[in-house]
Structure 1
Amino acid sequence: MEKPAGWLIVAGDLAFHGGMDRANLELARHLAAEEAVQVVAHQVDDTLLTLPQVRVQRVPRPAGRHLLGRPLLAWSGRRLAQRLAPQGWRVVVNGMNCPWPDVNWVHYLHTAYAPAAYGSLLQRWKMRYTHRWDCAAERRLFPQTRRLVCNSRQTARELVEKLGVSPERVSVVYLGCDPQELPLVTVGEREAVLRQFGWSERPRAAFIGQLSDQCKGFDVLYAAWRRLHQQGGWDAELLVIGEGSQRRLWEQRAGAEGLAGSIRFLGRRRDVPQLLAACDILVAPSRYDAYNLAAHEALCRGLPALVSIRAGISERYPPELHDLILADPEDEADLADRLRSWLPRREEYAACVRSFSATLRSYTWADMARDFRTAVLTSS
């Protein structure tokens, strides 16, 4: 493997919270242990600024709007890539954030899923236009990209089948974790978290994801939860962790339908690992999820994660956990049945995931960064 002169990473944010944000932060941190790294991003965690091998170019995000900041990020990243690439630097971009055909880290494939448009006429038009633009950009850029690194075999397969990318150009590198942040939940920790928030000792499920479209499948989970209440004998609580334009509508609906005492909307949180200690299962009926880091982290903490077959992480589930994979993310009745089956057997389910939990915790962010580097350099 020929060592590059350095690494340029173009990413929206490099932060401890958020799937691709955390992955890019950890990649930059670990590469910078031995090599020069330059970053072009809107936001960067302060820990990165203290590393002597790292230089950061911040790009504004006007009014906090992604669509306004996106062309500025692409222009800034491309301009720096034009200067550094001839000097032997490798350029890592993320999806469609910068049109540069060296290394693309594919965390989400727009061509694989068309989200339903919602909101006003203008909002629906904007969503459809943006999706069509992203799909067209993927068709232009990905087949010409030197190396595509995917977060799951599902994403890699869709790149080949839907966009005609040569399989030889595609690598799969799973996301890592920090095992110190995500140890198995202990009885003492659970009791402490319940005391801190003033919550009772009752079964709890968690949903983690944006409430701005139907991609994460919250509408299906809500329908299943309502069905369980209508059937009776359901005393579990659902913690909804995430923000989005539809959050208020869901809260109002839960109140109107008598579910306010059973569904707790917590908004965007930075203490997700702590909140997971108060839960017994994570539910993620995603219509599309290239990976699902939230499910990964829940499993690391020892919680069963009930996921859709459309989530990349499902391909990592061992055979003994296949009951935790939803074959049809649209089937609310099946989801309700699985949750009702889980409730009296939750200790049994928790015991079943411990081995898988240990496997996930053994693969760290440092391992991910090493494998990413190897995938890029051995394929050159």
Structure 2
Amino acid sequence: MDRANLALADWLARQGGPVRLVAHRVEDSLLRYPNVHFVRVPKPANAYLLGEPLLDAVGRLWAARTLAQGGQVVANGGNCEVAAANWVHYVHAAHAPEPAGSPLRRLKGHVSHRMHLRSEQRALRRARIILANSERTRQDLLAATGVEASRVHVVYLGGDPTRFPSTTPVLRREARASLGWPQDRRVALFVGALGDRRKGFDTLFHAWARLCARREWDVDLCVVGTGAQRESWERAAREQGLGERIRFLGFRDDVPRLMAAADLLVSPTRYESYGLGVHEALCVGIPALVSRSAGVAERFPSSLQGLLLDDPEDSGELVRRLDEWRSRGGDWMPAVAALSSELRAWTWDAMAAAVVARLEA
């Protein structure tokens, strides 16, 4: 279940009023609330393409009932076409995916993208109010739909300061010891799916190969994530003699510990409506190199502009940015600490309250 949706649903449930959740699945923690009614929508053959029409139909049915009873309705993007609020976490019209894998998988990806574009257009044009997770997303929505600017508002994503606390030297040592990492070796982290080119791992791989060709480059890279391209990237790393310099960790449920142990997060993403992984790394207190076009980059102060990539396609620029971090990254740490404190203060509860306040206004 999307983390932001979970946060909103949990906050609403704790307010005591009735909450209806229409979805294929939800977090088990929500089902413990007696005031939460979960409407489970089937997903035939576990396929989203088959389940999405059912989600739209069942969602419209319950939306009409809820609105008639004086309640409020929040849909996500093109999931449900209803004249209510639409909370957008991803704009399909802003990015054309490049699916990897077999011809059938690629065909399915292209067909799915076209379907998402049509449903997104219909749902957003019908929405009474649209909530975006960044100014970047707001501008993408305006360009994609042509709706009135007054209907689209920004509420930034929140975070969990207990799960991603500010790290300390003691926490860092403990995290490294538990992971078996050497205490005196710098480690950069990449967190993202390896199923297509959107997260920019190809740019990072080529930059890392260039850096590791230098004897003085003493930073290792850990890659968290899986996808259709993972095996091919692992093979490429072995073939180029990078097997010890790039470690593929696969899916992990201990990302907070990995971030506490790392020195840097690298995210040369081609499209990111916000960038929760970057947000969480900054909450922990490590610098994050991210594309300037990502929504989360709006949160970076002028003193941290050196951490923003102008062109996620340019591995040479990424090499220069990594070199700069390696040589003067310590100069950025006071600004990183200040931003970390600011982001930790904007919790998931604060975000949920802001969403509801906007809807009620």
TM (normalized to structure 1)?
Answer: 0.91
Matched residues in 2 for 1:139 and 1:42: separation?
Answer: 22
Letter in 1 for 2:287: P
Which of 54, 60, 69 is the equivalent residue of 1:87?
Answer: 69
- Residue 5 (structure 2) aligns with: 24
1:27-46 equivalences under 5 Å are 27-34=8-15, 35-46=17-28
Matched residues in 1 for 2:332 and 2:222: separation?
Answer: 19
Which of 246, 269, 272 is the equivalent residue of 1:263?
Answer: 246
* Higher deviation after alignment, 343-352 or 204-213: 343-352
* Higher deviation after alignment, 117-126 or 247-256: 117-126
Letter in 1 for 2:342: T
- Residue 98 (structure 2) aligns with: 116
* Higher deviation after alignment, 219-228 or 344-353: 344-353
Tell me by how many angstroms 1:215 deviates: 0.7
- SS at structure 2 position matched to 1:258: coil
Q: Deviations over 1:121-164 (max 9, x none)?
A: 22222222221221222222212210110000111112112320
Matched residues in 2 for 1:157 and 1:211: separation?
Answer: 27
Matched residues in 2 for 1:163 and 1:321: separation?
Answer: 33
- Residue 41 (structure 2) aligns with: 59
- Residue 228 (structure 2) aligns with: 245
- Residue 301 (structure 2) aligns with: 318
* Higher deviation after alignment, 261-270 or 135-144: 135-144
Pair 1:134 & 2:116 matched: yes
* Higher deviation after alignment, 226-235 or 248-257: 226-235
Segments of structure 2 that go 5 or more residues without pairing to the other structure are none
Q: Deviations over 1:215-248 (max 9, x none)?
A: 1111101111111112332121111111111111
Matched residues in 2 for 1:311 and 1:333: separation?
Answer: 19
Tell me by how many angstroms 1:94 deviates: 0.9
Matched residues in 1 for 2:113 and 2:198: separation?
Answer: 13
Which of 254, 258, 268 is the equivalent residue of 1:285?
Answer: 268
Tell me by how many angstroms 1:343 deviates: 1.5
Matched residues in 1 for 2:345 and 2:209: separation?
Answer: 38
1:190-339 equivalences under 5 Å are 190-201=172-183, 202-339=185-322
Matched residues in 1 for 2:47 and 2:118: separation?
Answer: 22
Tell me by how many angstroms 1:280 deviates: 0.6
- Residues 1:180 and 1:105: Cα distance change in structure 2 (over 3 Å): same
Tell me by how many angstroms 1:344 deviates: 3.2
Matched residues in 2 for 1:139 and 1:29: separation?
Answer: 29
- SS at structure 2 position matched to 1:79: helix
Matched residues in 2 for 1:274 and 1:45: separation?
Answer: 22
Matched residues in 1 for 2:41 and 2:73: separation?
Answer: 17
Question: Number of residue pairs matched?
Answer: 359
Tell me by how many angstroms 1:354 deviates: 0.4
- Residue 334 (structure 2) aligns with: 351
* Higher deviation after alignment, 55-64 or 37-46: 55-64
Matched residues in 1 for 2:333 and 2:243: separation?
Answer: 27
* Higher deviation after alignment, 309-318 or 76-85: 76-85
Letter in 1 for 2:25: Q
Q: Deviations over 1:325-352 (max 9, x none)?
A: 1111111001011112212333333333
- SS at structure 2 position matched to 1:33: helix
| CA RMSD, Structure 1 to Structure 2 (Å) | 1.5
Matched residues in 2 for 1:290 and 1:314: separation?
Answer: 10
Letter in 2 for 1:30: W
Q: Deviations over 1:10-49 (max 9, x none)?
A: xxx2xxxxxxx11111101111222221111222222211
Tell me by how many angstroms 1:189 deviates: 1.2
Letter in 1 for 2:263: D
Matched residues in 1 for 2:58 and 2:33: separation?
Answer: 22
Letter in 1 for 2:156: Y
State whether residues 111 and 162 of structure 1, in contact with CA within 8 Å, keep that contact through their aligned partners in structure 2.
yes
Which of 326, 335, 348 is the equivalent residue of 1:365?
Answer: 348
Tell me by how many angstroms 1:81 deviates: 1.7
- SS at structure 1 position matched to 2:65: helix
* Higher deviation after alignment, 292-301 or 117-126: 117-126
TM (normalized to structure 2)?
Answer: 0.95
Matched residues in 1 for 2:100 and 2:83: separation?
Answer: 33
Matched residues in 1 for 2:45 and 2:245: separation?
Answer: 36
Pair 1:149 & 2:131 matched: yes
State whether residues 282 and 339 of structure 2, in contact with CA within 8 Å, keep that contact through their aligned partners in structure 1.
yes
Tell me by how many angstroms 1:283 deviates: 0.6
Tell me by how many angstroms 1:63 deviates: 4.3
Matched residues in 2 for 1:162 and 1:190: separation?
Answer: 44
Letter in 2 for 1:334: E
Q: Deviations over 1:289-327 (max 9, x none)?
A: 000000000000001111101210111111101111111
